[in-house]
Structure 1
């Protein structure tokens, strides 16, 4: 036994078991998140059953089963359910009823002992709406300008319905393109002219120049107003077209309701769909989740603005932190005199790596936003005051705060890489007649590039997952306008952004509809993990390429 312990074999097995245990936990966690999150997009069947109420009357319920649980009967009695005293445990089912504009809530619990047998009629439709969540019911008629054009008894009812829905979606896309494209550019130009006019009032020009400038502004504004009038007329025509069609539905209680197709995102009949059709619908919803904008207080729709904001912020942060971190490390390692002051600076850098991130957020808000941003507005955007331009949280300040947060990581990694370069390489370069600067930038720094990339990888991994400081310096609950668009200067660093980490926090803890938000928290968390993995793999591949390049050059 002693010989076996001295051989080191137990420690090898212990290390291997620890690695295997960690891998199982990581894979299990990611699997749990994936199952809980991405199963949300599967078009589940819609159940229909009769429920016996406390007064003995029956009520028809239509909804999608979410989950079931067994609870003590006392819990059900506390919620007002007339559970018999003989019952100790009861099973209850959570159903998504939809029809929030009718029932006032999306989800509700029902006790199994009061339910009849569940049925899955094929004529039940699930309607995804832009507001008020889903609507579940049975179709009555397809209306056009108030007149019935098709009923479910017609053989081509579903074809006409899908065709009308696709037409409404096309019109909605046209409206969005006009409002965010042409009309958005006109509004930006009008705002620019307004600021120019206010600038003339603040800093007046000579009389002749002032008159000519105001005349130019008036002519441009008149042209923009004329262009806007044309677009407004076109937009009104499209809006009138969207009100043409409607779908008349009947709820489980028999109440009829007309739903304008302009408010509909998708109409499906899950109970009548084949497995192959459900698979196609699943990937369509998943793609919508990744590429669309959020709606209904972030509990429906997509997360594309959050993905775009996260990636943009990480790229801007990387552009800022990389040169500053590398130059600071090169100075500390290669140029600074190694003494007490240098040691104090290094200790300070190490300590900065352990400072809570919220402290950086408070510093960013006070120094970057209020001090620097406020002074920039006073110097360059005086005409826009009191409305702040850079004196308010935005993309640039969020990226700068994260750059400050990750700066110690880059400095330490770069210093470690520089310290590993053998002194013989430096001496050989100097012996061949190279200056210290040439030795540093042409020999030492290229060999230390993989270590610099390692620091950048660690910085990206930390920055992409930070939430606390971003809440103070630029990330908001909803910012559908992206910081990159076709309006000059194309990249708008002053705009607020959405972030996947803050989106998870908002949906998970601030959502008014907890049950609807639950699967989106898991799905968004998995997207964030995958995004960090992709960013890290990209940086790792670049690092490996540089390592092989300089290794082969050294050979």
Structure 2
């Protein structure tokens, strides 16, 4: 029997289809956004071919070497307005953004070109790319290798040959040598010397503390002096070793020809890696790609955060979320248990619940201002007065740091945990509580052994929501602890190992800094997408871990619900 339109509407089927369509559209939008971020972010690490050609514009001809980054269509009228000579019958032209590198010689490593003006395009196998610790990428032809200023190998011409392969292999061997020496330098500077400096500072503070306490005995001072002399001797020994390593690492240099024909020289120590992109097969490019991906997630940033990795930001984000979760969970659960199980249900309790719900809608920057004023300046200042007087006037906890950032975000997310926990407590049947009390258990025992375990999945739901919100927050962190570049991780081998007073890096702030504060916007743009994708992955992994714990708890205490 055919159903009329009014009957079909009354059946509720249109609303089902409307909801299904809305969900489908949302899924498509989310998948599309993530796909866009993934393509633009992960594509940055693929070794692109390097193009060489002759660029002719307004009767001016130059040799151009670089890799194509993006292409767009522009109206010819716009080009004519910028002084470019374009034929009258042309309405639009293709324009490409080329990464030409060599910023130390050309002033900029990105230029826009008109595709039709680039002729004699080719991809010579000898063109090499060098990723450097400073000044970005270098593109050119390898001409020679010098050792202590003396030329030890060279090659002329633009065609590959066995002699050139020998020269290239020699460069790779020297890069490996430099990398090995650089690892030793980093170990000494960031490990041994850093530990010595940290202990020297602790000795200084200990001596200052004795002076403030007006200790007159010479033995404590003498012990500090003896230990300082030992550390000074270790420091001098390490400094001598460092000088030898720096001399060794700066021994070699290369000469290379750039696009304008000029032959330039720079130290091999400045090269992170060198490769021949036009001579690489698919296998070689895949190996290079995954090496770059691993570098991105495991190393420190360089070049004003536009090159290198973001490991400190990953570590800081995860550490802050874990500390925040440890703080917010007990406070949120205790508050919810009191409101549901102990507080008299009346006007005041309803008013408190309304206030808690409203707190969830307060802008996050307000929490940041509160955290800066109350936690950092008030609590931190009083903690310094009470426990760290020897460090003053330099603040210890009276300055933004990891602890205050975690507490501020715990305050921001505690309403979520309270509401979720209360909902979980409400769903537990009253008969369960009464049965436990009838068997002789106290109310506290009932809560700890029956009620809270049964509500633990709801508690974990609140924690999951708290993690999802806190991990992506940036505005309050800018006031209470996050920085552009942290000199060291807040977790190391120096006592007390976890340094809650230190500032840290964060993925969300890193995206903001690279995207809007970078001096080299074009170089930073791909890293914005890659970091955003990584932030989504980190949040997803944290949430999946919490979901797995919740599901385990749900299965564990399922018998109590029956």
User: Taking structure 2 as the reference length, what is the TM-score of the superposition?
Assistant: 0.96
Report if the CA contact (8 A) 1:393-1:473 is conserved: yes
Q: Deviations over 1:467-524 (max 9, x none)?
A: 0000000001111410000111100000001000010111111111111111111100
Among 150, 153, 161, the alignment partner of 2:153 is 150
Are 2:193 and 1:183 equivalent residues in the alignment?
A: yes
1:98 aligned residue: 101
Report if the CA contact (8 A) 1:293-1:480 is conserved: no
Aligned residue-pair number: 551
Q: Deviations over 1:13-37 (max 9, x none)?
A: 3332222222111111111100011
2:128 aligned residue: 125
Matches within 5 A, 1:73-88: 73-88=76-91
Per-residue deviation, 1:195? 1.3
Q: Deviations over 1:19-59 (max 9, x none)?
A: 222211111111110001100000000000001243x3421
Q: Deviations over 1:506-547 (max 9, x none)?
A: 111111111111111110000000111100000001000000
Distance in 2 separating the partners of 1:79 and 1:198: 66
Are 2:38 and 1:14 equivalent residues in the alignment?
A: no
Distance in 2 separating the partners of 1:275 and 1:502: 36
User: Taking structure 1 as the reference length, what is the TM-score of the superposition?
Assistant: 0.97
Segment drifting more, 11-20 vs 57-66: 11-20
1:542 aligned counterpart, secondary structure: helix
Are 2:434 and 1:431 equivalent residues in the alignment?
A: no
Matches within 5 A, 1:455-534: 455-534=462-541
Q: Deviations over 1:215-255 (max 9, x none)?
A: 11111111111011111111111111101111211101111
Distance in 2 separating the partners of 1:354 and 1:8: 33
Matches within 5 A, 1:146-545: 146-152=149-155, 153-205=163-215, 207=216, 209=217, 211-545=218-552
1:68 aligned residue: 71
1:52 aligned counterpart, secondary structure: strand
Distance in 2 separating the partners of 1:80 and 1:397: 55
Distance in 1 separating the partners of 2:164 and 2:118: 33
Per-residue deviation, 1:460? 0.3
Q: Deviations over 1:57-97 (max 9, x none)?
A: 42100001011112122322333333344543222111001
Q: 1:471 to 1:542 in 2, by over 3 A?
A: same
Distance in 2 separating the partners of 1:233 and 1:139: 34
Distance in 2 separating the partners of 1:505 and 1:220: 45
Report if the CA contact (8 A) 1:305-1:480 is conserved: no
2:160 aligned residue: none
Distance in 2 separating the partners of 1:531 and 1:218: 47
Report if the CA contact (8 A) 1:123-1:269 is conserved: yes
Distance in 1 separating the partners of 2:12 and 2:290: 51
Distance in 2 separating the partners of 1:131 and 1:431: 74
1:468 aligned counterpart, secondary structure: coil
Q: 1:59 to 1:196 in 2, by over 3 A?
A: same
Report if the CA contact (8 A) 1:447-1:550 is conserved: yes
1:118 aligned counterpart, secondary structure: strand
Distance in 1 separating the partners of 2:377 and 2:326: 23
Distance in 2 separating the partners of 1:91 and 1:444: 68
Q: Deviations over 1:159-195 (max 9, x none)?
A: 2211110111111111011001110111011111111
Report if the CA contact (8 A) 2:57-2:84 is conserved: no
Report if the CA contact (8 A) 2:41-2:530 is conserved: yes
2:158 aligned residue: none
Distance in 1 separating the partners of 2:141 and 2:424: 67
1:35 aligned residue: 39
Report if the CA contact (8 A) 1:247-1:258 is conserved: yes
Q: 1:401 to 1:494 in 2, by over 3 A?
A: same
Segment drifting more, 259-268 vs 141-150: 141-150
Distance in 1 separating the partners of 2:201 and 2:138: 41
Distance in 1 separating the partners of 2:73 and 2:186: 47
Give structure 2 stretches of 5+ with no counterpart: 156-162
1:531 aligned counterpart, secondary structure: helix
Report if the CA contact (8 A) 2:454-2:561 is conserved: no
Segment drifting more, 216-225 vs 73-82: 73-82
